[in-house]
Amino acid sequence: MPDTSSCSIRSVPTPVLSSKDIQINRTPSLLTGQTAPTMPWPLLLPLLLLLAVSGAQTTRPCFPGCQCEVETFGLFDSFSLTRVDCSGLGPHIVPVPIPLDTAHLDLSSNRLETVNESVLAGPGYTTLAGLDLSHNLLTSLSPTAFSRLRYLESLDISHNGLAALPAESFTSSPLSDVNLSHNRLREVSVTTFTTHSQARALHLDLSHNLIHRLAPHPVGAGLPTPTIQSLNLAWNQLRAVPDLRDLPLRYLSLDGNPLAAVGPGAFQGLAGLTHLSLGSLQGLPQLAPHGFRELQSLQVLDLSGNPKLKWAGAEVFSGLGSLQELDLSGTGLVPLPEMLLLHLPALQSISVGQAVRCRRLVREGTYPRQPGSSPKVALHCVDTRESAAKGPDTL
């Protein structure tokens, strides 16, 4: 064996490169505290894109007539969700077997006349998050139809013939979006929408029904209050604002209802409401003084499309200290009195007439301001049709 004790390693000088020759990003080393070279961003970015969530879509074998789209996620497509489309095949399609990783099932337009627990049962239904039953012939629901769908978040039963809802239809599912529009519902109880997960905000669409009464949630009944944040009651048969007190509502639409009047106490218990739409009301709606005074948080109020709307002066809008947008287009409330601004201190814009939009202007007056004086507030109105005809401004 050769003697290596006397051997030495000769260092080979390497050329010194200046910063003009090459630029390398340096980051502090966690072990030595010194800076270590890292890959430049132009070279690192493609690698990051390859390692990012792919979200690729592919198809897979499916029940005859249905289409299954698989969307993969994660590193190396390690996680997948399947969307199953069985729409427009006919009532013979149910019950249909679906893959175990199915996230959304579309059973719309199948002329289904009934849906019960056995129709929505099977291994693939236990983790279902979205279900579409729209455009069928459903006239009733079984109280236990959705009882096994413990993860259902989105449910669409619009465009059917439902005349009533069982009391506990949606209790078992953590729903966040329910569409019941375009049915034949006449009387609905708010308690029906007490869901399994009370921490989740619920968006509820009951528009285009025959609802003449919305039964309020009973006080002191021991039942949790439904977490309805968005409620669409447009185009029903409501003659008065329903009792919605204590609901955590943020958005409410009563468009197209035959409301007779809006008076004090109409919106009691809705202090958190931020958007209210009362457009195209049927009949001869009347706005009484202080009719909106409970809505301290309201930011947007839509009264458009009411040519026969009657009001009793600017006091109608008293109490709306947070209102920023007011839509009065298509009403007879023109010209708009500037005294209205005294009741709406936060108002920024108003739409009036057919295409007139007004904005709040604050004129400071002389400078320096005299002691005890206050800036003058006025409305500056522009016909949007004239602005559109002139075209965009050019420099």
Rounded to the nearest angstrom, the gap between the alpha carbon of residue 292 and the centroid of all alpha carbons in its chain is: 24
Confidence of residue 342 (pLDDT cuts 50, 70, 90): confident
SS3 for 234-276 is CCCCCCCCCCCCCCCCCEEECCCCCCCEECCCCCCCCCCCCEE
Domains of the chain: 57-237 (3.80.10.10), 260-394 (3.80.10.10)
Confidence of residue 225 (pLDDT cuts 50, 70, 90): confident
* Residue 390 token pair: 């002139």
Return the ∠ at Cα 192 (arms to 189 and 198), rounded to 5°. Answer: 130
Confidence of residue 10 (pLDDT cuts 50, 70, 90): very low
pLDDT single digits (tens) 61-108:
899 999 999 987 766 555 789 999 999 999 999 999 999 999 999 999
Please list, in sequence order, all residues whose beta carbon lies within 8 angstroms of the beta carbon of residue 38, skipping any fewer than 6 positions away. 24, 25, 26, 27, 44
What is the DSSP secondary-structure string of 158-210?
A: -SS------TTTTTTS--SEEE--SS---EEEGGGG--S-TTS-EEEE--SS-
**pLDDT score, position 8:** 40
Q: What CA–CA distance (Å, rounded) separates 4 from 134?
A: 85
pLDDT single digits (tens) 149-183:
999 999 999 999 999 999 888 988 999 999 999 99
pLDDT single digits (tens) 236-283:
999 999 999 989 999 999 999 999 889 899 999 999 999 999 999 997
CB 120 within 8 A of CB 148: yes
